Structure 1
Amino acid sequence: MENAHHRVLVVGGGNGGISVAARLRNAGVHDIAIVEPREEHLYKPLFSHVAGGTARASITVRPQRDVMPKGVTWIQDAVTAVQPETNAVVLDSGDRLTYDQLIVCPGIQLDWDRVPGLVEAMQTPVAASHYEFDLAQKASALLRDLTRGTVVFTQPDGTASCAGAAQKPMYQACDYWRATGVLGDIRVVMVVPTETAFLPPFDRELERKIDEYGIELRTRSVVLRVDADAQEVVLGGPDGPEHLHYDVLNVEPPQSAPDWLKASTLTAPRATGGFVEVDPETLRHPRFPNVWSLGDAAGTTNSKCGGALRKQTWVVAKNVARVLRGKEPTARYDGYAVCPFTVSRSTVVWAEFDDTGAQKPTIPFFRRMYRESRLSWIFDRHILPWVYWNLILTGRV
């Protein structure tokens, strides 16, 4: 494989990479390769359901080979460097790949070590996270078995993948504790860096559930450090540091672009997070016109989430296919994002919004779709997973 060349090289075999490659194949593009080291493909939107006790972990994972589009080459290796000046990518094996068009979508990096004591806390029996497969299962058992004490849920400051998902297992757990008669004996604290629970168009619905469950919401607050031995988290907020003992801690870790991406020339000068510089509409790199990026690794203006990927993969596939035919890109991404808040074990608040935070419903005349709904739960928990495995990853929607 040394010095192999491909017409289209895709970095990352997650939702974005598989979907955009499938769309390109459906458009008749040949000689596509995906670089992805993992042997398993994960449907991460269900991780919060796993932690909340409403989904089995086994249904979130499939073999990577089973989701690879037909006719696409899978290079099972990891990228260590990208060199857009010479149209090359360097792999962990030492191989060097060249390309005509490069699509960068390796996802986001979980920076556990950015919060002192967080790594050590995850190794204890009382701390978990629904942002990793194994830890989501751990969180499920912890939340299920808790009958009294203090549980703390945290959302990090800065850019994160579906940041609002920090709240999802919390609401499901509260609904379970209420049903089993122990909610009154459990103190629930939610830590968010924002001014409100989420975004103004949806805050009223979320705050109603927060009040209903008796959750203590800490806004404009972040985790400064964790003392795993003492089971204590130190928060930084508008009133100064707060030391909070926990019996269970569920964390959404700080996040950033992969280290190899931060070190590349694809990032914008003086940009934070190390994400790929792109035109926010065409998703094309402004300095390297044969480089594209989408998903969590792209320096777009939208909220990072799986719902945004569906539209982004369509835009990139359309534009790359046109460029390969010698035409200019015409498809545009509109900044759409979505966060289905599981506010109980049977209802969802369906939050759709654009890159300004304004409501952007898929059905324009149905602007009340954001209200708590059983139908939205069925769609999020049961229909969307089927759509993901059978339609999204095959490039059909």
Structure 2
Amino acid sequence: MPALQPPASANHHKVVVVGAGAAGIATVASLIAREPSLDIALIDPAEVHYYQPGWTMVGAGVFDAPSTARAMASVIPRGVRWVKAKVRTFDPSGQSVTLEDGRVISYEQLVVCSGLKLDWEAIDGLVDTLGRNGVTSNYRFDLAPYTWELVRKLKQGRALFCQPPMPIKCAGAPQKALYLSCDHWLRSGRLGAVKASFFNAGAVLFGVPDYVPALMGYIDKYGVNLSYSHRLTAVDGPNQRATFICTLPDGSTQTRTEPFDMLHVVPPQSAPDFIRQSPLADAAGWVDVDPHTLRHRRFGNIHALGDVASTSNAKTAAAARKQAPVVANNVLVALGRLQSLAHYDGYGSCPLTVERGKIVLAEFTYGGKVAPSFPHWLLDGCKPTRLAWLLKAKLLPPLYWYGMLKGREWLVRPKPLANEASQ
């Protein structure tokens, strides 16, 4: 009969995971699937876990908001210690983290997946008007239903949709809101009376060129006024005015103010303050990791994944789903439990909801290389298809709750690093 392990100290664990979002829960679940007795602490103060990819569908009246939320306690794998607190600082040399209440928790291996910061305050006047005066955002659980309310009620006028500078969580989400709203107005005979505009801080509609033709087809279909190099800087809610800074080809800028009846805002995004100010951060504030192993470049017993990692992949739940098994594998290699390092190829996916019932399923790896999960004859991701919509609307939510968060690595089993010819 094997000897019983001594109980873990309240302030020391083999593995400490910071962040219980999609990346954190998936990583813990993948670790437990490989080593059921592994001593893990998961640090996160949140009471609720959200399926954030569903908020676009809430904003279009397809999902109801409660279906995208579950109690955090219900998704944390059994046997994992939940430390319900915020992290204040990291001490890599002392192999510990300090919590906001002053407690210190030490570790042998640290995994950081704290997500990113939605900087609502960076846009003047925005916080005071969110959720009223026609100002909304699908990037918040409580506001996505207001998006659908505005779309349903708007009979005529100007609807503005904005996209901030990269990087952001789910780069396609700002235009998903645009397309689904326009589709509703088209089906209800209001498109034309409702005029839609898309203000993009970037220089292209989508970062992977293969998918742009299909998307431009919908921009034309909906008669969207498309403006590049426009960054939202201020919102006057009571007077329904949005102010943009436009960067001209010569690098100079000019201010432009636009009236609106509906304004869908996506805030600027950055690494959380406690990450940016830590020894783990690179010059841009993200956790500085090797893009393939997801191990920290300077601290060998630290890994990071999800939105907070410095990797150049799209910041999506699909990326986290691929990254989690890689990190789980590589943490166990670092602990001496496994032999071969695993490899992440930069996979990300963005199901672009171009109309109710059809999706352009963008899938790509590092460098914008198209990486379809399905054979071309079954699903051509560069074209809008009903099958991709069924995948998004019917299959992905249960795959998230009962697959990804349970350590079931369907189609995402990690590949050994040595198998990659590029390494």
Q: Which stretch shifts more, 35-44 or 350-359?
A: 350-359
- Structure-to-structure mapping, 1:184-199, within 5 angstroms: 184-198=192-206, 199=208
Distance apart, 1:361 and its partner CA = 1.4
Q: How far apart, CA to CA, are the structure 1 residues paired with 2:375 and 2:310? A: 27
Distance apart, 1:3 and its partner CA = 6.5
Mapped contact 2:29–2:406 kept (Cα < 8 A): yes
CA offset digits 1:30-69 (Å, max 9, x no partner): 1011111111110000001101111100110011111111
The secondary structure found in structure 1 opposite 2:149 is: helix
| Structure 1 letter corresponding to 2:239 | A
The secondary structure found in structure 2 opposite 1:167 is: helix
Distance apart, 1:227 and its partner CA = 2.2
Q: How far apart, CA to CA, are the structure 2 residues paired with 1:124 and 1:381? A: 28
| Structure 2 letter corresponding to 1:278 | V
Q: Which residue number corresponds to residue 399 of structure 2? A: 387
Q: Which residue number corresponds to residue 348 of structure 2? A: 337
| Structure 2 letter corresponding to 1:234 | T
Distance apart, 1:212 and its partner CA = 0.5
Q: Which stretch shifts more, 136-145 or 381-390?
A: 136-145
Q: Number of residues paired by the alignment? A: 394
CA offset digits 1:178-197 (Å, max 9, x no partner): 11111120110111122221
Q: Which residue number corresponds to residue 41 of structure 2? A: 33
- Structure-to-structure mapping, 1:313-352, within 5 angstroms: 313-325=324-336, 330-352=341-363
The secondary structure found in structure 2 opposite 1:80 is: strand
Q: Which residue number corresponds to residue 408 of structure 2? A: 396
Mapped contact 2:211–2:362 kept (Cα < 8 A): yes
Q: Which residue number corresponds to residue 48 of structure 1? A: 56
Counterpart check, 1:11 vs 2:18: yes
Distance apart, 1:6 and its partner CA = 0.5
Q: Which residue number corresponds to residue 212 of structure 1? A: 221
Counterpart check, 1:181 vs 2:192: no
Selected match of 2:243 from 234, 239, 257: 234
Q: Which residue number corresponds to residue 267 of structure 1? A: 281
Q: How far apart, CA to CA, are the structure 1 residues paired with 2:71 and 2:47? A: 6
Q: Which residue number corresponds to residue 24 of structure 1? A: 31
The secondary structure found in structure 2 opposite 1:370 is: coil
CA offset digits 1:331-375 (Å, max 9, x no partner): 111011111011111111101112212322123656832310111
Mapped contact 2:133–2:240 kept (Cα < 8 A): no
Distance apart, 1:139 and its partner CA = 1.3
Q: Which stretch shifts more, 39-48 or 361-370?
A: 361-370
Q: How far apart, CA to CA, are the structure 2 residues paired with 1:216 and 1:365? A: 32
| Structure 2 letter corresponding to 1:150 | R
CA RMSD between the two structures: 1.7
- Structure-to-structure mapping, 1:60-139, within 5 angstroms: 60-122=68-130, 124-139=132-147
| Structure 1 letter corresponding to 2:344 | Y
Q: How far apart, CA to CA, are the structure 2 residues paired with 1:165 and 1:379? A: 17
Q: How far apart, CA to CA, are the structure 2 residues paired with 1:120 and 1:218? A: 26
CA offset digits 1:4-24 (Å, max 9, x no partner): 100000001111111110111
Selected match of 1:374 from 375, 386, 389: 386
Q: Give me the identity figure in percent.
A: 39
The secondary structure found in structure 2 opposite 1:7 is: strand
Normalised by the size of structure 2, how large is the TM-score? 0.90
Does the C-alpha gap of structure 1 residues 158 and 8 become closer, same or farther in structure 2, counting only changes over 3 Å?
Answer: same
Q: How far apart, CA to CA, are the structure 2 residues paired with 1:115 and 1:60? A: 27
- Structure-to-structure mapping, 1:266-305, within 5 angstroms: 266-268=280-282, 271-272=283-284, 274-305=285-316
Q: How far apart, CA to CA, are the structure 2 residues paired with 1:255 and 1:341? A: 20
The secondary structure found in structure 2 opposite 1:242 is: strand
Q: Which stretch shifts more, 42-51 or 28-37?
A: 28-37
Does the C-alpha gap of structure 1 residues 123 and 346 become closer, same or farther in structure 2, counting only changes over 3 Å?
Answer: closer
Distance apart, 1:142 and its partner CA = 1.2
Distance apart, 1:237 and its partner CA = 2.4
Mapped contact 1:201–1:358 kept (Cα < 8 A): no
Q: What stretches of structure 2 of length at least 5 have no aligned partner?
A: 1-7, 249-253, 410-423
Q: How far apart, CA to CA, are the structure 2 residues paired with 1:109 and 1:328? A: 36
Q: Give the helix-richer structure, 1 or 2.
A: 1
Distance apart, 1:125 and its partner CA = 3.0
Distance apart, 1:117 and its partner CA = 1.9
Q: How far apart, CA to CA, are the structure 2 residues paired with 1:241 and 1:203? A: 28
Mapped contact 1:3–1:96 kept (Cα < 8 A): no
Q: How far apart, CA to CA, are the structure 2 residues paired with 1:325 and 1:365? A: 41
Distance apart, 1:220 and its partner CA = 2.2
Does the C-alpha gap of structure 1 residues 295 and 156 become closer, same or farther in structure 2, counting only changes over 3 Å?
Answer: same
Distance apart, 1:380 and its partner CA = 0.5
| Structure 2 letter corresponding to 1:350 | L
Normalised by the size of structure 1, how large is the TM-score? 0.95
CA offset digits 1:133-157 (Å, max 9, x no partner): 0011121211111111111111111
Mapped contact 2:41–2:82 kept (Cα < 8 A): yes
Q: Which residue number corresponds to residue 250 of structure 1? A: 264
Distance apart, 1:224 and its partner CA = 2.5
Does the C-alpha gap of structure 1 residues 372 and 123 become closer, same or farther in structure 2, counting only changes over 3 Å?
Answer: closer
Q: What stretches of structure 1 of length at least 5 have no aligned partner?
A: none
